[in-house]
Amino acid sequence: MKLIDALKIIQKSSGSSTATFKVALVCGFTPLHLQTFLQAELQQLFTDHRVEVVTGLYGDLRGTLESLRIETLDAVAIVLEWFDVDARLGIRQLGGWSPHNLESIHERAILFLRHLKQLVENVSRSTPVAVSLPTLGFPPIFSNAGWQAGEIALRLKQEVASFGVQISQMNGVKVLNQDRLDHDSVSSERFNARSEWSSGFPYQLSHASAVAKLLAMLIRNPLPKKGLITDLDNTLWNGIVGEVGVDGIHWDQDHNSAHYGFYQQMLKTLSEEGVLIAAASKNEPSSVEAAFNREDLLLTKDAISMLAVSWGSKAQAVSQILNAWNVGAESVVFVDDSSLELAEVSLAHPEVECVQFPLGDPQGIYDLAIRLRDLFGRGMISEEDRFRSQSIRSNSELRRLVAEDTEGFSDALLEQAEAELTINVSKDPNDTRAFELINKTNQFNLNGRRVTEAAWRTYLQEPDTFLLTASYKDRFGALGKIAVITGRVGDKRISVDTWVMSCRAFARRIEHQCLKAVFEKFDRDEIVFDYVSTSRNMPVAKFFSELLNDEPASPVTISRSWFDTKCPTLFHRVTERNDE
Amino acid sequence: MNDYETRLIKCFSAVFSGLSEAELQSAATTNLANWDSIATVTLIALIEEEFKVEVDMDDLERLVSFESVLGYLKSREAT
């Protein structure tokens, strides 16, 4: 981004929204253009907020961190450079570069980083923190020539790396990926000595822009996509199976096709991380079946949740898969080598992210893997991620039984399901799954509202709020944590602010059991729901309609006696956990 | 209006928003309260980015108005 574009974005946004997203930029140098770029990058990501970036005192990174009014902030961005670790590692402070000083620089670095770690830990308890470790090189302080790494320099880097490892393990702290920064900002074009001496701003504009962009992504933390639909011929393997036969398709080194194997390995890995993988192919089903029976295929059949193979259109195949997965099109990626097929799918499903498979371009395939990592990247793999594919299959089995049984999940079927629901009412701000569910669920969502990490933590700290989560399993498999309710407990009634439930958990009366748990746990006679109709939350509207015998109006109020009368028979075995 | 002037107005407009073109052309440190040191550093960075020049720090003290900046850029081109 150019500086002029950043300033224009900021100018355009001023006064555009009343909701503010406030970020503290904590650095030891004059924040100057980094502040401008960060504000502009964040503004592009938080379009429904007016972004404000506040800064601290020059030369006092730790002091700025200590004096932050955390309760007013939505996020903190810390940009560390070597001269923060010790001023002698900069060019503005002339504290002496004597060889006798080097050991003391290392010792001071250890103390500085230890203190900084404590400060980061304190701040991260209330506010998400993004940290950029030193991005600039050392000045020529060490005795060795430039092509040789000096011992003290290596030790300093080791200390910073160790600091990075430790803070990356803290909840709410994310560390900027130096490899990505190296890709986006050439290291020899980062430092601006003239600007550092004249104004205390050490970055070239291009470097400031690159750092700001990555920090903004860390702060925004976009939700990962859930599913990938891939083409097969000339995408998952080299060749057209219907023409060359099962033995004529390749993905190995011997046939100059290793990049296809690499793509298969990428999809297999994503599958193991909980991403839903499906294939959409214009083919004879028997040919594809035979191909998937090959033992050397890296993306094995068990890693694929659905094969949509026919001579019908790709758009139809994608519809089938979306229907089976029951996920929003916006959380799905479609990969195909044909521009025409991509255009067709894009037209039918504009929210699906369509990605061209770079046929015959090994470098392009490597770059595609990097892009897939960005689209599906997650900080950690949760239990629910591992359950996802399994529960999709379980749902299919359950649906098959339902089809054989009645039009819905009958009492008999639910009774035989051996369902267990675990209710947890501990207010754990680090419950990333609850936070994630609230921010990605569209269908069973009380009002469609999203919440920032900082607002989430603040909300849970309020004494009258509660967080109830529900985890589910039955004989068809475990679904993991699938429902979240937050609200406030008043003297006479409970106010529910948020209620979401994963679409994988529909039709099992889990929503009834959750309400029952809220009534029983907090022992109030009435629940008031902050219901708002959205374009996507029809399942919530349907649930209230059935319960109230009427169309729901905002807010929805349900009394305990009414609920007891209307609640269908529930077959779950309920256990309660409180991890506090 | 020549190309230099148009591009310079763009730079001034990014720093001093809300001013008309005529106001930008008559902008000076003496008549713009928000032309402070931060505005100067930002303006110089924008000019360097837009005109692909490096402004000598010694020249800063004479770059105190739109007119003087325009003259400076033209003189840089001439050399």
Beta-bridge partners for A24: A54, A76
The amino acid that residue A305 corresponds to is S
Which one-letter DSSP state was computed for residue A408?
Answer: S
Is the predicted pLDDT of residue A442 greater than 90, yes or no? no
Closest Cα partner for A486 from A564, A557, A425, A422?
Answer: A425
Please report residues of B whose CB lies closer than 8 A to that of A194: 54, 57
Please report residues of A whose CB lies closer than 8 A to that of B15: 7
Most confident of A212-221, A402-411, A477-486: A212-221
CA atoms A500, A502, A507, A512: torsion sign: negative
The amino acid that residue B38 corresponds to is I
Residue with tokens 């079927």, as numbered in its chain? A413
Do A205 and B49 lie within an 8 Å CB cutoff? yes
pTM of the model: 0.79
d(CA A246, CA A19): 58
Structure tokens at A149: 């790494």
- Indicate the range of A201-210, A342-351, B2-11 predicted with least confidence: B2-11
Looking at the domain that runs over B3-78, which CATH code has it been given? 1.10.1200.10
Shortest CB distance from B49 goes to which of A3, A194, A199?
A: A3
Mean pLDDT taken over chain A: 90
Q: What is the mean pLDDT of residues A89-118?
A: 90
**B74 or A381, which is more confident?**
B74
Question: What pLDDT shows up at residue A22?
Answer: 95
Q: State the angle between helix axes of A205-220 and A32-45 in degrees (0 to 180), rounded to the nearest 10.
A: 40
Please count the other Cβ atoms lying within 10 Å of the Cβ belonging to residue A83.
Answer: 23
The CA distance from B71 to the nearest CA of chain A, in Å, is 21
Question: What pLDDT shows up at residue A412?
Answer: 78
Is the predicted pLDDT of residue A160 greater than 60, yes or no? yes
- A198: nearest CA partner in chain B: B57
Q: How large is the ipTM? A: 0.86
Is the predicted pLDDT of residue A403 greater than 60, yes or no? no
Question: What pLDDT shows up at residue A397?
Answer: 57
Q: What is the mean pLDDT of residues A284-299?
A: 93
Question: What pLDDT shows up at residue A406?
Answer: 41
Question: What pLDDT shows up at residue A580?
Answer: 54
Is the predicted pLDDT of residue B25 greater than 80, yes or no? yes
Please report residues of B whose CB lies closer than 8 A to that of A16: none
d(CA A136, CA A144): 18
Q: What Cα–Cα distance (Å) separates residue A517 from each residue in A435, A463, A469, A512, A553?
A: 20, 20, 10, 9, 23
User: Tens digits of per-residue pLDDT, A47-79?
Assistant: 989 999 999 988 899 999 999 998 899 999 999
Beta-bridge partners for A141: none
Question: What pLDDT shows up at residue A180?
Answer: 96
Q: What is the mean pLDDT of residues A236-260?
A: 92
Do A3 and B46 lie within an 8 Å CB cutoff? yes
Question: What pLDDT shows up at residue B79?
Answer: 62
Is the predicted pLDDT of residue A270 greater than 80, yes or no? yes
Beta-bridge partners for A250: A238
Q: What is the mean pLDDT of residues A252-281?
A: 94
Chain B residues whose C-beta sits inside 8 Å of any chain A C-beta: 10-11, 14-15, 17, 38, 41-42, 45-46, 49-50, 54, 57
The CA distance from B19 to the nearest CA of chain A, in Å, is 12
Is the predicted pLDDT of residue A488 greater than 80, yes or no? yes
- Using left for φ > 0, alpha for ψ between -120 and 50, and beta otherwise, residue B55 falls in beta
- Name all domains of chain A by residue range, CATH numbers in brackets: 3-220 (3.40.50.1110), 227-379 (3.40.50.1000), 404-577 (3.40.630.30)
Please report residues of B whose CB lies closer than 8 A to that of A201: 41
SS (H, E, C) A90-129: CCCCCCCCCHHHHHHHHHHHHHHHHHHHHHHHHHHCCCCE
Structure tokens at A113: 């980083």
d(CA A52, CA A489): 33
Shortest CB distance from B14 goes to which of A8, A32, A201?
A: A8
Question: What pLDDT shows up at residue A407?
Answer: 45
d(CA A218, CA A176): 7
Shortest CB distance from B57 goes to which of A2, A33, A198?
A: A198
d(CA A14, CA A37): 15
Asked if the C-beta of A55 comes within 8 angstroms of chain B's C-beta atoms, the answer is no
- B54: nearest CA partner in chain A: A194
Q: What Cα–Cα distance (Å) separates residue A215 from each residue in A181, A381, A455, A537?
A: 10, 22, 19, 33
At B38 the three-state DSSP class reads helix
Closest Cα partner for A302 from A311, A313, A293, A310?
Answer: A293
Interface probe for A, chosen from B7, B15, B41 (most Cβ of A below 10 Å), is B41
Please report residues of A whose CB lies closer than 8 A to that of B45: 3, 33, 205
User: Tens digits of per-residue pLDDT, A419-435?
Assistant: 899 999 998 888 888 99
Is the predicted pLDDT of residue A476 greater than 90, yes or no? no
Shortest CB distance from B45 goes to which of A8, A11, A33?
A: A33
